[in-house]
Chain A
Amino acid sequence: MDWAYLFEISLTGIASGGLYALAALAFVMVYKATRVVNIAIGEMLMAGGYLFFTFAAMWALPLWLAIPAAVLACGLLGAVIERTMIRPLLGEPPISVFMVTVGLSSVLIGLVEMVWTADQRRLPEFMPSDPIMVGDAFLAPKVFWGAVVAAVFIAAVLLVFRYWRGGVALRATASDQAAAYSVGINVPRVFSLAWVASAMLAAISGIIVGSIGGISSSMGVFGLSVLVVVIVGGLDSVLGALVGGILIGLVEALAGAYLGGEYKLLATFVVLVVILMARPYGLFGTHEIERL
């Protein structure tokens, strides 16, 4: 057993887990506020990555403009999705809304392939490329900086939703819709807010993920790992998203290193099945699942 190697792998795993945590946060936000399971989260990530690609590489905008532009554009996309597809289905069974997001993911993939073709693209480099050494262990600089950015944004989101009025409204809606209505919170607007914020977070993680591994129309597979993360953590738990993200990042890195690359997804899904069998509400989720 090579402990240094294990340490190095684990470090990479935890760092890439940070990205999972950020994307999972985007998912949890929508789920908490609107009870919608957004299976298209990976595709929204992809949309963010491609928008950034358009602004930064095709229109050659400077970075400080391209990143906010991509994030805002993705937020707009979130608003449009909420308004045209999710809100008409308010009050419908959750399964219908779930299947709408399945359709949405297909539409997004198709649009991306139409506009940007299915080829893999590389995002412009914007992260420092000096190797990062933690003790004796080497950590790929992109992964490290990606994790740092993700951690910063996660902290920012947590703070914003703790203290900002809109964030409080969102949490109030999440805990009790009727009560939120009765104290004068505009619940449909909170739903929009949740989708916009989630899409913007997805865009940020899409940009990071894309700059690490490149963007392609099959990037949505990342979203499947995110789904596993949120299920492991508990669909409605922010803490769960963070812990689950790091856990899944670790599992993937270890499986990839010791078993081989093709075992990565397998390992995540095996974790998923085990969690579903043993603790279906996840590590920190609300115990609300009816057991029959």
Chain B
Amino acid sequence: MRIGTLKESYVADAALFDSRTQHAWLAIAAALLLLFPFVASDYWLYMACLVAINVASATGLNILTGYTGLVSLGQAAFMGLGAYTVAILQTRYGTPFLLNLLAGGVVAMLGGIVVGIPSLRVKGLYLAIATIAASFIAHFLFANFQITGGTAGLSLPPARLLGVDLDTSFRLYWLIVPVTLLMLLGAANLFRTRIGRAFIAIRDRDISAEVLGIPLLRYKLLSFGLSSFYAGIAGGLWAYFFRVVTPESFPLSMSIFFLAAIIVGGMGSILGGILGAVFMTMVPELLKLVVDLLPGGAALAVFLSPVRLVVFGALIIGFLVFEPLGLAEIWRRVRRFFHLWPFRN
């Protein structure tokens, strides 16, 4: 509870964004997002789209892992389900892309619910390992089914909206970023409802949650479903962004990437999912920049991918050991410091 934020009505108390400062910041952020595509170069637009896709998927994982306390290493596989659904619908039936996206989300959701069924009997680490199994089984299905194009994968035409092909980063930005924002808003609001509160109760102590009258199985499956719905939509956006989907596009290391993103960002916080995904997506780019600046950069380029792995792993370990609540907690501390600044030392 912060001081200096006086509430006079329940509506104000329950509001998603409760202070004027927050409103101001949101307005600034919205303006920046609107202006960004007109000033940024192609490279930064490309990065922005990638970041937005990762934010969407990380937020989904955050619902499951951060808020419900079920560790999943299958997020990439669910993205793959979404991406393949979109690709198949687009290439075979040519249905409108918004419908495809939605279908991708729904198929991934069904996949997630199936994978979540072991949560009926096992939890914690066992479940995490079951999700690894799921991601390998998914990879096998992608690589060996006729309809998914085997190991060669599928390539799909650009999405069409109102007669415009969404084939450049600039055009895709207007699809990907709004969809991501919508999903973020949905996630933020989810935790003000009965369902979201139930997730948090399950995370904090599942037995107490059961005693409070929360049917565990149903809510755990719901959490799996929602999380993989997010992953499916993100995967669909991914498919439209890269326009080629192969079984190798969604490896286990991608799931670890998302897990790292929410750990670094802060589990159980929407802002954490955003910060983490932005941070983790930018880290490899920063590494590239550093390598370019170093003398003999070209020779060092071969080290880029292993260094990335090391940095990812080190970030996971470092944040878990030193700052388990992640970037969101750092951000919260900074905000606290400035909240009554300069009237408090």
Contact = CB atoms under 8 A, between A and B. Distances in A.
Interface string A234-271: 00000000000000000000000000001101100110
Interface in B203-232: 206-207, 210, 216-217
A102 B126 contact: no
Interface in A80-139: 85, 88-89, 92, 94-96, 98-100, 102-114, 117-118
A280 interface: yes
A104 B313 CA distance: 6
B186 interface: no
Contacts of B210: 292
Max chain B C-beta neighbours (<10 A), residue from A89, A263, A277, A292: A292
B121 A277 contact: yes
B321 A98 contact: no
A272 B306 contact: no
A4 interface: no
B59 to A, nearest CB: 18
A53 B263 CA distance: 35
B310 interface: yes
B137 A103 contact: no
A266 B143 CA distance: 12
A126 to B, nearest CB: 28
A114 B143 CA distance: 30
State the main secondary structure of chain A at its contact with B.
Answer: helix
- The bracket for how many chain B residues form the interface is 35 or more
A263 B217 CA distance: 32
A290 interface: yes
A262 B316 CA distance: 32
Nearest to A113: B306
A103 B121 contact: no
Contact of B320 (A99, A272, A276): A99
Contacts of A118: 306
A273 interface: yes
B303 interface: yes
Contacts of B307: 110, 114
B118 interface: yes
Nearest to B118: A276
B129 A231 contact: yes
Given A103-B320, A106-B256, A109-B309, A272 B314 contact: no
B156 to A, nearest CB: 25
- Central interface residue in B125, B303, B316, by most chain A CB within 10 Å: B125
A89 B320 contact: yes
Nearest to B309: A110
A263 B260 CA distance: 30
A247 to B, nearest CB: 16
B329 to A, nearest CB: 15
Contact of A105 (B136, B306, B313): B313
Interface residues of A, number: 45
Contacts of B69: 95
Contacts of B339: none
A273 B133 contact: yes
B116 to A, nearest CB: 12
A95 B125 contact: yes
Given A272-B130, A292-B216, A106 B310 contact: yes
B250 interface: no
Nearest to B121: A280
A289 interface: yes
B128 interface: yes
B157 interface: no
Contacts of B67: none
Contacts of B130: 272-273, 276
A86 to B, nearest CB: 10
Most B CB contacts (10 A, CB to CB) among A118, A227, A272, A277 go to: A272
A277 B129 CA distance: 13
B73 to A, nearest CB: 8
Contacts of B315: 103
Contact of B206 (A94, A265, A292): A292
A277 B118 contact: yes
B312 A106 contact: yes
B136 A107 contact: no
A270 B317 contact: no
Interface of A: 37, 85, 88-89, 92, 94-96, 98-100, 102-114, 117-118, 224, 227-228, 231, 262-263, 265-266, 269-270, 272-273, 276-277, 280, 289-292
Given A106-B316, A276-B129, A292-B216, 17 more contacts: A89-B320, A95-B69, A95-B128, A102-B316, A103-B315, A103-B320, A105-B313, A106-B310, A106-B313, A107-B317, A110-B310, A224-B132, A262-B144, A263-B140, A276-B118, A277-B117, A292-B217
Interface of B: 69, 71, 73, 117-118, 121-126, 128-130, 132-134, 136-137, 140, 143-144, 206-207, 210, 216-217, 253, 256, 259-260, 263, 302-303, 305-317, 320-321, 324
24 contacts: A85-B317, A88-B321, A95-B71, A99-B259, A99-B263, A100-B320, A100-B321, A103-B315, A106-B260, A106-B309, A106-B312, A110-B306, A112-B306, A113-B306, A118-B306, A224-B136, A269-B137, A272-B129, A273-B133, A276-B121, A277-B117, A280-B121, A290-B123, A292-B210
